[in-house]
Structure 1
Amino acid sequence: MSFYTSLNGLKNAQTELGVIAHNIANVDTNGFKKGRTDFADVVAGSAQSDPRKIQGIGATLEAISQNFALGPIEQTGGALDLALTGDGFFTMRSAEGGKTLYTRNGGFGIDEASYINDGLNNRLQVFPTDADGTITSTTPVDAQIPATNADGAEFAGVTVGSDGAVTATYADGTFEVVGTVALASFISPTGLKQVGSSNWEATGISGAAKYGAPGAGQYGSLLSGALERSNVDIAEELVGLITAQRNFQANAKAIDTATQISQTVINLRT
C-alpha cells in the first residue's frame, strides 16, 4: 500500500509543479490570476474500525483554485486601456459564436467595423444610454462607435470616463456618448471556468453574472489609460517551486525505501 500512497504523492507534487509553472509562464500576462493547488488527506476505515487505528492512505487533489486578488496597475496612456480597482469583470461577447466571456484584461482597441474589442473578435459590452449619458437599459450590447456623426463629421477619438461612459468625439468638435461599460460580478468568482486569453465563463458554481456600472458597489472604479498586470508574485512562486520539488523527491525516496523493504522480504523467503 505504501507504493500507491507515495505514488499519489508523486502525482500531487507533479500537479503542483504544473500549476506553479503555469503561474510563472503568465507573470507578464495582463489580467491573469494565479492558481493554487489544494490537497486533502485520504483515510480508509469502516463502521467497525477503531477510530484510533484508522490509517491514512495518502493525499488527493481537492481543487486548483484561482486567486482573484488585484494585480499591479500599470499606466499606459492608451484611451482604451482600462483597469478595474474592484471585483468586477469586463463583459465580452464573441462575434462568431455569441458566447459571453468575462475578463480582467482591459487592453481594448477598435476593429474595422468600429466595434471595441480585445483583438480576438470578442466585443466589449456596454449599457445603452441616451444623449445625456443616462443608462436606458440594463441589458448589455456591443460597444460600437459610429464612423461619422449625424452631420457627417468623421470620428476623431474616444475617451472612457471613471463612470464607464464611452464618449466618441468627431472632427467638428462634437461628441456622442456610445454607452456605459457593463461590468459583471459573481457570488463565487473562484467557480468561473478558465477558457484562455485571460477570459472566463460563468458556471453553475460561480453563479450567474450580476451586471452593474463602474463605481457602484463591489464592481470597483474604472481607470482609463491603465492595465492590470498579472497578480503572480515571482518570488513566492519560486519558493513554492522549491517546496514542490522537495515533496516530489521525498515521495520518490519513500517509493525507493518501500522497494528495498520488499526486496529484503523476498530475499528472506528465498
Structure 2
Amino acid sequence: MLRALSTGAAGLAAQQICLDTCANNLANINTQAYKKQGVSFADLLYQEMGREGIPAERQTAPGANTPGPTPPEGGGVRAAAISRDFRPGSLIRTGRPLDVAIQGKGFFRVQLPGGEYAYTRNGRFTVSSDGRLSTEQGYPLEPEIILPPGYQSVTLHSDGRVTIINSDRQQEEVGRLTLYSFTNPAGLAARGENLYLPTAASGEAAEYYPGTGGAGTLIQGCLETSNADLAIELTGLIEAQRAYQLNLRVISSADEIWSMANNLRK
C-alpha cells in the first residue's frame, strides 16, 4: 500500500509536468514561429517481490530445474525529458515589407545587450532610431544591416539581399541577411522572447546565405506561425487530465486500504 502511494505520487508529478507543457503550447498558439514542446516519460526502478510478507509465486518452466525469476514490482514514472519540436509552422501573408519568413531550415541571429548572440525564427523586424534592422524587442540583427535615412522602400530578397530605393530613387543594396543552422537544434536553450541560446548539445552555429548549404529561403511579407496544433494540444491536455485523475484515484484507494488496515481490531 505504501508503494501504491509513492507510485501514485510519482504519476501525479509526471502528469503535472505534462499538463504544464500542454498549457504552455496552448498559450503560445498565436506566437509567431513558436516551437511546441513535448514530454517523454520513463518508468522508474523495479525490484523483486521477494520481500517478507509479500508472497510471490515463482513458476518453474517445463524442463527447467529451477524456478524463474521473481516477478518485478515497478516504482512509478518520471518525466525523462522535455523536447522541442523544430518542424516549421505554416506561413501567413501580412503584406508588411519588414516581415520575412524562413521557408526551410535556419535561424536569424541577433545580438543581446550583453554582447552574446541569440537565435530566432521570428522574422517580424522593425527599424531602430539609428536605422538598424532589429527585432520587435529592439535586438539588432547580426550581421548588422543599416537602412540610410530618406529611403523610400525596402525589399528583402529570397537569397537574403536587402535592397532599398534611396532618396535619389535608385536601387541600392545595403546588406545581406544570413541564416544559421545547428547540428542538433533540439539542444538549443530557450531564453524567452522567441530567442534560443546555443549549448554544447546543440553544437556551434554554421552560417549560410539563404538557399545555400541546406538553409531555407526567405519570403518577404510573410510570417511563420506556431507549429502547435490546437486539436492535438487539446487532446493531449484532456489525456493528461484523465491520467492525473486516475493517479489521484490510486492514492485515494491506497489511503482507504491503509486506513482499514490501521483500524483492524482483534
- Fold-level similarity (TM above 0.5): yes
**What do residues 176-231 of structure 1 show as CA deviations (whole Å, max 9, x unaligned)?**
21221111101110111111111111011111111101111331111111000111
1:44, distance to aligned residue in structure 2 (A): 3.3
Aligned residue for 1:211? 207
Q: Which amino acid aligns with 1:170?
A: N
Aligned residue for 1:31? 33
Q: State how far apart, in whole Å, the 1-side matches of 2:151 and 2:148 are.
A: 7
Aligned residue for 1:239? 235
Q: State how far apart, in whole Å, the 1-side matches of 2:73 and 2:145 are.
A: 59
8 A Cα contact 1:93 1:142, kept in partner: no
Aligned residue for 1:90? 108
Percentage identity across aligned positions? 37
Match of 1:12 among 2, 14, 32: 14
Q: Which amino acid aligns with 1:262?
A: W
Report the secondary structure of 2:200's partner residue.
Answer: coil
Aligned residue for 1:120? 137
Q: State how far apart, in whole Å, the 2-side matches of 1:183 and 1:245 are.
A: 40
Q: State how far apart, in whole Å, the 2-side matches of 1:269 and 1:175 are.
A: 95
Size of the aligned set, in residue pairs, is 247
Q: State how far apart, in whole Å, the 2-side matches of 1:51 and 1:182 are.
A: 60
Match of 1:184 among 164, 180, 183: 180
The question of 1:74 aligning with 2:76 is answered no
Q: State how far apart, in whole Å, the 1-side matches of 2:188 and 2:210 are.
A: 21
Larger radius of gyration: 2
Stretches of structure 1 lacking an aligned partner (at least 5 in a row): 126-140, 148-153
8 A Cα contact 1:102 1:200, kept in partner: yes
Q: State how far apart, in whole Å, the 2-side matches of 1:51 and 1:120 are.
A: 61
Q: Which amino acid aligns with 1:250?
A: L
Q: Which amino acid aligns with 2:38?
A: R
Q: State how far apart, in whole Å, the 2-side matches of 1:52 and 1:116 are.
A: 67
Aligned residue for 1:202? 198
Q: State how far apart, in whole Å, the 2-side matches of 1:81 and 1:32 are.
A: 16
1:72, distance to aligned residue in structure 2 (A): 1.1
1:269, distance to aligned residue in structure 2 (A): 5.1
Stretches of structure 2 lacking an aligned partner (at least 5 in a row): 52-67
Q: State how far apart, in whole Å, the 1-side matches of 2:166 and 2:225 are.
A: 32
TM-score, structure 2 as length reference: 0.88
Aligned residue for 1:160? 156
8 A Cα contact 1:156 1:169, kept in partner: yes
TM-score, structure 1 as length reference: 0.87
Aligned residue for 2:75? 57
Q: Which amino acid aligns with 2:127?
A: I
Match of 2:260 among 223, 241, 264: 264
Q: State how far apart, in whole Å, the 2-side matches of 1:197 and 1:181 are.
A: 21
Structure in which a larger fraction of residues adopt strand: 1
Q: Which amino acid aligns with 2:185?
A: P
Q: State how far apart, in whole Å, the 1-side matches of 2:40 and 2:71 are.
A: 26
Report the secondary structure of 2:180's partner residue.
Answer: strand
Aligned residue for 1:111? 128
